[in-house]
Amino acid sequence: MAVTYGQAHALASKRLSAGSLAHSERVAEEADRLAGLYGVDSSEARLAGILHDLCRDTPHDELVGAAVAAGIPITDVDRAVPYLLHGPVAAAELAEMIPGLSPEVIEAVRSHTYGGTTLSPLAMIVYVADVSEPGRPHESSALLRSRAGSVSLAELFASAYAASMHHLIDNRRLIHPATLSTWNDIVLRERA
Protein backbone atom coordinates (compact mmCIF):
# COMPACT_ATOMS: atom_id res chain seq x y z
CA MET A 1 0.00 0.00 0.00
CA ALA A 2 1.52 3.29 -1.09
CA VAL A 3 1.12 6.14 1.35
CA THR A 4 0.58 9.73 0.28
CA TYR A 5 2.04 12.79 1.93
CA GLY A 6 -1.47 13.73 3.08
CA GLN A 7 -1.93 10.37 4.80
CA ALA A 8 1.51 10.59 6.40
CA HIS A 9 0.77 14.14 7.56
CA ALA A 10 -2.54 13.01 9.09
CA LEU A 11 -0.72 10.23 10.97
CA ALA A 12 1.95 12.64 12.21
CA SER A 13 -0.66 15.20 13.29
CA LYS A 14 -2.35 12.55 15.48
CA ARG A 15 0.90 11.64 17.22
CA LEU A 16 2.81 14.92 17.53
CA SER A 17 2.40 18.12 19.50
CA ALA A 18 1.83 21.28 17.47
CA GLY A 19 5.50 22.27 17.83
CA SER A 20 6.79 18.85 16.81
CA LEU A 21 4.41 18.73 13.85
CA ALA A 22 5.54 22.19 12.69
CA HIS A 23 9.17 21.01 12.91
CA SER A 24 8.35 17.88 10.89
CA GLU A 25 6.58 19.98 8.25
CA ARG A 26 9.68 22.19 7.93
CA VAL A 27 11.91 19.10 7.71
CA ALA A 28 9.66 17.72 4.94
CA GLU A 29 9.93 21.02 3.03
CA GLU A 30 13.70 21.22 3.48
CA ALA A 31 14.10 17.54 2.53
CA ASP A 32 12.08 18.20 -0.62
CA ARG A 33 14.35 21.14 -1.51
CA LEU A 34 17.51 19.11 -0.88
CA ALA A 35 16.14 16.16 -2.87
CA GLY A 36 15.71 18.46 -5.86
CA LEU A 37 19.29 19.67 -5.55
CA TYR A 38 20.76 16.17 -5.23
CA GLY A 39 18.58 14.15 -7.62
CA VAL A 40 16.69 12.17 -4.97
CA ASP A 41 12.98 11.33 -5.15
CA SER A 42 11.26 14.35 -3.61
CA SER A 43 8.06 12.50 -2.68
CA GLU A 44 10.12 10.01 -0.66
CA ALA A 45 12.01 12.91 0.94
CA ARG A 46 8.76 14.62 1.93
CA LEU A 47 7.37 11.37 3.38
CA ALA A 48 10.50 10.69 5.39
CA GLY A 49 10.59 14.30 6.56
CA ILE A 50 7.03 14.37 7.86
CA LEU A 51 7.36 10.92 9.48
CA HIS A 52 10.90 11.17 10.91
CA ASP A 53 9.79 12.31 14.37
CA LEU A 54 6.64 10.18 14.62
CA CYS A 55 7.68 8.98 18.10
CA ARG A 56 9.37 12.21 19.24
CA ASP A 57 6.67 12.96 21.82
CA THR A 58 6.28 9.38 23.05
CA PRO A 59 6.93 9.08 26.80
CA HIS A 60 10.39 7.72 27.57
CA ASP A 61 9.22 4.57 29.34
CA GLU A 62 7.03 3.74 26.34
CA LEU A 63 9.97 4.27 23.97
CA VAL A 64 12.10 1.82 25.93
CA GLY A 65 9.24 -0.70 26.05
CA ALA A 66 8.59 -0.36 22.34
CA ALA A 67 12.29 -0.76 21.57
CA VAL A 68 12.45 -3.94 23.66
CA ALA A 69 9.30 -5.29 21.96
CA ALA A 70 10.76 -4.53 18.51
CA GLY A 71 14.10 -6.16 19.32
CA ILE A 72 16.00 -2.89 19.02
CA PRO A 73 19.29 -3.08 20.93
CA ILE A 74 19.34 -0.67 23.87
CA THR A 75 22.62 0.79 25.09
CA ASP A 76 23.42 2.47 28.40
CA VAL A 77 23.17 5.79 26.57
CA ASP A 78 19.66 4.90 25.34
CA ARG A 79 18.65 4.08 28.91
CA ALA A 80 20.06 7.40 30.14
CA VAL A 81 18.51 9.36 27.23
CA PRO A 82 15.51 7.31 25.98
CA TYR A 83 14.56 10.11 23.60
CA LEU A 84 17.34 8.84 21.31
CA LEU A 85 15.21 5.76 20.60
CA HIS A 86 12.48 7.77 18.89
CA GLY A 87 13.94 7.25 15.39
CA PRO A 88 14.48 3.47 15.58
CA VAL A 89 11.13 2.95 17.34
CA ALA A 90 9.29 5.06 14.74
CA ALA A 91 10.94 3.09 11.93
CA ALA A 92 9.85 -0.21 13.48
CA GLU A 93 6.30 1.06 13.95
CA LEU A 94 6.10 2.44 10.41
CA ALA A 95 7.31 -0.85 8.93
CA GLU A 96 4.43 -2.58 10.73
CA MET A 97 1.77 0.09 10.15
CA ILE A 98 2.51 0.83 6.48
CA PRO A 99 3.83 -2.33 4.77
CA GLY A 100 4.22 -0.54 1.41
CA LEU A 101 6.44 2.20 2.80
CA SER A 102 9.79 2.06 1.05
CA PRO A 103 12.82 0.67 2.88
CA GLU A 104 14.63 3.93 2.10
CA VAL A 105 12.02 6.01 3.96
CA ILE A 106 12.15 3.60 6.91
CA GLU A 107 15.97 3.78 6.94
CA ALA A 108 15.86 7.60 6.86
CA VAL A 109 13.48 7.64 9.84
CA ARG A 110 15.58 5.07 11.73
CA SER A 111 18.91 6.80 11.17
CA HIS A 112 18.00 10.46 11.70
CA THR A 113 19.01 10.39 15.38
CA TYR A 114 22.30 8.45 15.27
CA GLY A 115 23.20 8.48 11.61
CA GLY A 116 24.72 5.27 10.30
CA THR A 117 27.74 3.95 8.49
CA THR A 118 25.95 3.07 5.24
CA LEU A 119 23.37 5.75 4.70
CA SER A 120 21.41 6.15 1.49
CA PRO A 121 21.23 9.58 -0.14
CA LEU A 122 17.66 9.89 1.19
CA ALA A 123 18.80 9.19 4.76
CA MET A 124 21.56 11.80 4.44
CA ILE A 125 19.04 14.33 3.11
CA VAL A 126 16.63 13.77 6.00
CA TYR A 127 19.47 14.03 8.52
CA VAL A 128 20.65 17.32 6.98
CA ALA A 129 17.07 18.64 6.71
CA ASP A 130 16.45 17.84 10.38
CA VAL A 131 19.60 19.71 11.44
CA SER A 132 19.15 22.65 9.06
CA GLU A 133 15.42 23.32 8.77
CA PRO A 134 14.69 27.06 9.02
CA GLY A 135 13.27 26.81 12.54
CA ARG A 136 16.62 25.73 13.95
CA PRO A 137 18.27 28.66 15.74
CA HIS A 138 21.89 27.55 15.28
CA GLU A 139 24.24 29.48 12.98
CA SER A 140 25.31 26.19 11.47
CA SER A 141 21.75 25.60 10.20
CA ALA A 142 21.77 28.67 7.98
CA LEU A 143 25.28 27.84 6.78
CA LEU A 144 24.21 24.31 5.83
CA ARG A 145 21.19 25.64 3.91
CA SER A 146 23.42 28.10 2.04
CA ARG A 147 25.94 25.38 1.09
CA ALA A 148 23.30 22.98 -0.22
CA GLY A 149 23.82 22.33 -3.90
CA SER A 150 27.31 23.84 -3.98
CA VAL A 151 28.98 20.88 -2.22
CA SER A 152 28.42 17.16 -2.58
CA LEU A 153 25.71 15.52 -0.51
CA ALA A 154 28.40 13.54 1.36
CA GLU A 155 30.19 16.79 2.26
CA LEU A 156 26.94 18.47 3.33
CA PHE A 157 26.09 15.45 5.51
CA ALA A 158 29.59 15.45 7.03
CA SER A 159 29.23 19.16 7.86
CA ALA A 160 25.81 18.61 9.42
CA TYR A 161 27.14 15.70 11.44
CA ALA A 162 30.12 17.75 12.63
CA ALA A 163 27.75 20.52 13.74
CA SER A 164 25.70 17.97 15.68
CA MET A 165 28.83 16.55 17.32
CA HIS A 166 29.97 20.06 18.33
CA HIS A 167 26.54 20.71 19.84
CA LEU A 168 26.69 17.50 21.89
CA ILE A 169 30.20 18.21 23.13
CA ASP A 170 29.61 21.91 23.82
CA ASN A 171 26.54 21.02 25.90
CA ARG A 172 28.23 18.06 27.63
CA ARG A 173 25.67 15.58 26.39
CA LEU A 174 26.12 11.86 26.15
CA ILE A 175 27.22 10.58 22.75
CA HIS A 176 25.64 7.37 21.54
CA PRO A 177 28.05 4.63 20.38
CA ALA A 178 26.34 4.62 16.96
CA THR A 179 27.00 8.36 16.69
CA LEU A 180 30.70 7.78 17.29
CA SER A 181 30.72 4.97 14.71
CA THR A 182 29.08 7.22 12.16
CA TRP A 183 31.58 10.01 12.81
CA ASN A 184 34.52 7.62 12.52
CA ASP A 185 33.10 6.27 9.25
CA ILE A 186 32.79 9.81 7.86
CA VAL A 187 36.42 10.55 8.71
CA LEU A 188 37.68 7.24 7.34
CA ARG A 189 35.82 7.79 4.05
CA GLU A 190 37.32 11.26 3.73
CA ARG A 191 40.80 9.79 4.20
CA ALA A 192 40.28 7.04 1.62
Map out the domains of the chain as residue ranges. 5-191
Per-residue pLDDT band at 36 (split at 50, 70, 90): very high
Output the DSSP codes for 64-94.
HHHHHHHT----HHHHH-GGGGHHHHHHHHH
pLDDT 10s digits, 59-104: 999 999 999 999 999 999 999 999 999 999 999 999 999 988 999 9
Q: What is the CATH code for 5-191?
A: 1.10.3210.10
Distance CA 51, CA 87 (A): 10
The reported pLDDT for the residue numbered 99 is: 85
Amino acid at 144: L
Do 85 and 74 touch, CB atoms closer than 8 A?
Answer: yes
Per-residue pLDDT band at 1 (split at 50, 70, 90): low
pLDDT 10s digits, 161-192: 999 999 999 999 999 999 999 999 999 988 87
